[in-house]
Amino acid sequence: MMVSPSNVTKRRRSTFTWRRRLVPYVFIAPNLFIFLTFIIWPALRGIYISFFDSMDGSQFTYVGTANYKAIFNDPTVATIARNTAIYVVFYMLISTLLSLTFAIIINQQKFARGFFRSIVFLPVMLSPIVVGLIWNDVLDRKVGPLNTLLEAIGGGSPGWLVEPKLGMISAIFVGVWVHLGFYTIILLAGLQGIDNSVFEAATMDGATRWQITRRITLPLLKPTTLIIVILSTIHGFQSFDFIYTLTGGGPLGATTLIVQYIYERAFQSPIQYGLGSAAGVILFLIIFAFTALNFLVGKRREAI
């Protein structure tokens, strides 16, 4: 049976098209495997474990929703929820405002822009554990360099890490300091994506720098700013490592956030893997809800 040249050509084109479509999936397959193995599967496993009780990780007893009920009946959860809400709100607002300010200032620099960008981004390169230890020494009430400087100018020696209100302020400050460079670089990229002709036209029309910032820069940066709001909200809810080495959750539980609650239930005696997993599921739902809310509100404002 003879095969027409046109059929052979069609088969070759079909094979070429099929291979061309398959190539991108081959390249992402290793990352997809890692993502499924180390993120998706543990997440699904955590949801499963949240309905069981286990103290050794090998023997599990089904308890249904008892772990979730225990969390909501825990008298410390209300305080932890309040601490987390305060931290996330102020961390998100301060991070967004400061990163916007720094990005605009750096973008307007004619010289040494790369130097200032590197300086701002430097804290992001440090380990969060190391950051907590460094600032623990800096904010030490007796021998910390900050209080030494304040005493020298007559400012007293505040108990940054031993007074509840100051402890939360210190945690928020360090959290902003750690991630500010990351948010600034994202906003700086958004600024550099705006056509310079827009600013030149506004300048020729006699607009002041403040008017350009308010009427042109900020509106055009709304999509990028929305990303910063979402990222800072997620980072705020996930904050733990540097706070744990900075204050240990103190003083008097003033800086104990939800992730530390999960860690203590799952890995400190008495070990309660099911309870820790249930708290992790609740945290996931909270982050998902806030992220979706920020995204929907941001999209609605853009539409208006």
Classify residue 220 as exposed, middle or buried by CB count within 10 Å of its CB (0-12, 13-18, 19+): middle
pLDDT in tens, the chain (304 residues): 444 555 555 565 666 566 777 778 888 888 889 989 988 898 898 899 999 987 766 778 888 899 999 999 988 999 999 999 999 999 999 999 999 999 988 888 877 778 888 888 999 999 989 999 999 999 988 888 988 888 888 877 888 998 989 999 999 999 999 999 999 999 998 888 888 788 778 888 777 778 888 888 888 888 889 889 999 999 999 999 999 999 998 888 899 999 999 999 888 888 888 999 999 999 999 998 988 887 787 666 655 5
103/108 Cα distance (integer angstroms): 9
- Beta-carbon count within 10 A of 176 CB: 23
222 in Cβ contact with 298 (< 8 Å): yes
- What letter represents residue 274's amino acid? G
Give the CA distances from residue 23 to residues 11, 33, 34, 108, 164, in Å, rounded to whole numbers and listed in that order.
Answer: 18, 16, 18, 43, 56
Q: Which pLDDT score, from 0 to 100, does residue 22 have?
A: 79
